[in-house]
Structure 1
Amino acid sequence: VYFQDLSGSEPVLKLQSSSTSPIIDPHLSPDGTMIAYVRDDELQCKTYNFGFDDGETRQLTYGARESGKV
């Protein structure tokens, strides 16, 4: 997942995906401070400070894979 400033600067990679752990269905919050996505069958959320500095990543769900509902 890349972010790009409206001024036209170069896109910056913010979330690295891999073939074994892809990022699925990313959604940016309306205020642009968080991005929610699915990775490893669990909902994740990454926060950003204004200016898109790197922030904290938190796992929001647990046990999805073990429940058999994925």
Structure 2
Amino acid sequence: MLEVKLTPELDTALSREARRARKSKATLVLDAVAQYLQDADDYQAVLASRKHRGRTATLDQVKQRLCLGG
């Protein structure tokens, strides 16, 4: 279990968003943490890919190489 102390400003903004989204504040925080961890994992994968392969390609370049049109 984790307890997080928010500033009054963040708490107000979170409450406002929870009402707008019709979700609980806990759900919004959980979703935000999950998204952050996914983004961090993706970022680390990109760094590892660049370190080991050094080359990247855009989606359009990959489609062209695979003759998928694009």
For Structure 1 versus Structure 2, the TM-score category normalised by the shorter chain is under 0.3
Higher strand share: 1
Q: TM (normalized to structure 1)? A: 0.23
TM-score normalised by the chain length of structure 2: 0.23
Structure with higher Rg: it is 2
